[in-house]
Structure 1
Amino acid sequence: MFAQSLTMVVEGLGKTVEKFTTDVQLGTATRDIPYEGSPDMDMPGLKGVIKTGTVASQHHLWTAWVDGRPFITLHELYSFVEHDAIEPKPDWDPYYHYRVVIDGDPGTELILRGSQDARDHAKPGYIGYAWTAMEPVNAIPAICDGPPGFKSHADLGLMTVRGIVR
C-alpha cells in the first residue's frame, strides 16, 4: 500500500529498494467497546459494539529493505480511543499525529500533533482529515503551473502554503 511512498524516499536518498516486507499486529478488546459515528465521520450515526475478544486495534508495518537490511519502516496505527480496553495496550497516543524517527548521527525525532484544541474539537476526525488534505491542496498551483505528466513529491519539492495568514 505504501510502496510508492517508501520507494520515493529511498530513491531520493540515492538508494534502491531490494524488497518490501509487511506485518500487522492486532490488539483485541478486553471488554465490549460501544461506538457511534459522529456527524463528521465516514459513517455518521453508525452504532455498534466491538465485542470482547475481537480486533480493536491494528498496527501495520511496511518496510523497505536496502543492502540486505531494513532501511525505512512506515507504521500505520488504527485503534479505538479506549486503550485501557485493548490488549496488548497500544503504545501510541490515541490522537492523530505523525512521528518521524531517524536513527543516525545525530538521531532525530519529529512529532507533529494537533493542539489540545484540535484534539478536543467537536469533530474528532477533523485534524486527521485536514492533515491528509493539506499536501494535495497545496500542490495544486505547482501542478497547474508545471508541464503535463505525472508528478511526485520528489518532482515538486516542498510546497509553499498560500493564504494561511489572514
Structure 2
Amino acid sequence: MSLRVIQFATGNVGRHALRSIINRPGLELVGVHASSPEKVGRDAAELSGLETPTGIVATNDLEALLALKADCVVYTSQAETRPQAALADITAFLAAGTNVVATSLVWLVYPPHADAWLREPIEAACAAGGSTMYVNGIDPGFSGDLLPLAALSLTERADEILVQEIFDYGSYEDAEFTGASFGFGAPPDVVPTLFLPGVLASIWGGPVRLLADQLGVQIEELRERHETWTATRTITCAMMTVEPGQVAAARFAVEGFVRGRPAIVMEHVNRLTSQAAPEWPFPPEGRPGVHRVVIKGVPGVEINTHVGGGRIDHNEAGVIATAAKAVNAIPAVCAASPGLTHLSELPVAQAHGLMS
C-alpha cells in the first residue's frame, strides 16, 4: 500500500521534492501547500515542472491538509527566519498523527543538541499523535553525519575529523536568504545573521555532537570562527552583483574541542566566483564544489563527494539532493517509533532509484 504524502512548500527545495513524490512508486501525493497567491489553485505537476496533471492542486488551507490524515508531510518551507510559524505548522501535523520529514529547522538535525523551546513542543506533539519527525539535508545533514560516519567505519582510531563544504555559490539564485545570511554583497563591517554569536554553533554544533556521541567522547567546548573576503573588482553572477569592497566569499567553522584541541570541525568555504579568496581551500581541480571529510588517524581517510555534473549545475544538484534526503527517508520515518529522531536511529539504507 502506498504511503500518502503532503508536500509543504514549493520553493527551491520543495519543487524538487514535489516532483520526486509524484514520480515515486510507493508514494501517493494527496496534498500540496503553497503560501503565495499565484501558486494556490495550480496543479502539483505544473508547480514541479511536470507535464501530466495530477489532479492535486495547491492550497494555503492548513486545516484542509490536516484533515487528509496523510502518512507523512515533507516540510521544506524556509523556517529559519520564521521558526515560531514553522513550529506551529509542524506540531499541528504531528499532533494529528502525520509524520514529518523536513529540510527546515536545521537545529534539529541532531535533536539532543537543540534548545528546549524548539525540541519540547515537537516532542509533545509526537507523543500526542504517535508520530515521528526527522530533519536532514545535504548540509547540515549528509556532509556532517552520514559522510563522516562512513569514513569513521574505516578507521581503527580517529584523532581529528574535518568536515568541509567548499562551494562556489555564484550560480545559486538565492540572494534574499542565502546571500543575506552569508553577508554577500554587504560591506565587511556588517555582521550577517550567520555570524551573530551562537548562530553557527546552533546549526553545526549538532553534527559535531552527533559524531562525538558516536565516538563516545565528550565535547568540552564549541567554538565559532569566521572571516570574509572582499571583492577587488565587480563580480556579476546569478546570485547578485558584488561591487569592489563588498563581501564575495565567507569562511566559517564550528570547532568541537576534545582534550583541549579542536578534534571535530565543521567548516564552510563559500565563494561567488572561483577567483575569490584565492588563499582559501578549493575543491579538487575541475570541480566547482565538494563536500569533504578528512580524518586523521589510523588509517587516515579522505572522502570527496560531488553533486551535479553533465547538464546539472552543482548548486541546483545540491538543492535536488537536499530534497532527495527528505523524500528518501519517508518510509523509514513512517516505520520508526514516535518521537524526534535522527540519522543514527534510522536505517542507513534510505535509498531509492529508478532505472531508465
TM-score (norm 2): 0.40
Alignment of 1:16-35 (within 5 A): 16-35=218-237
The more displaced of 123-132 and 65-74 is: 123-132
Structure 2 unmatched runs, 5+: 1-202
Deviations 1:96-119 (A, max 9, x none): 3210000011111000113541xx
Say yes or no: does 1:53 pair with 2:255: no
Change (3 A) 1:113 1:87: closer
Which of 192, 205, 213 in structure 2 is aligned with 1:11? 213
Q: Report matched runs for 1:74-113 at 5 Å.
A: 74-81=266-273, 83-84=274-275, 86-93=276-283, 95-113=288-306
* Paired residues of 1:28 and 1:88 also in contact (CA < 8 A): no
Of residues 296, 321, 326, the one that matches 1:131 is 321
8 A contact 2:308–2:314 mirrored in 1: no
Instruction: Tell me the residue number matched to 2:346.
Output: 156
* Aligned-partner residue type, residue 107 of structure 1: G
CA distance in 1, matches of 2:298, 2:351: 31
* Equivalent residue letter for 1:13: L
**Distance of 1:24 and 1:153 partners within structure 2:** 28
Larger radius of gyration: 2
Q: How many residues align?
A: 151
- Cα deviation code 1:81-131 (max 9, x no counterpart): 2x32x34544313723210000011111000113541xx53x552111122
C-alpha distance in structure 1 between counterparts of 2:347 and 2:263, whole Å? 22
Closer/same/farther in 2, CA of residues 165 and 18 from structure 1, 3 Å limit = farther
Show the counterpart of 2:260.
Answer: 68
Bigger helix share? 2
Equivalence for 1:41: none
Conservation of the 8 A alpha-carbon contact between 1:25 and 1:58:
yes
Displacement, 1:65? 1.0
Q: Which has the higher strand share?
A: 1
Change (3 A) 1:65 1:162: same
Quick one: which of 310, 323, 332 aligns to 1:142? 332
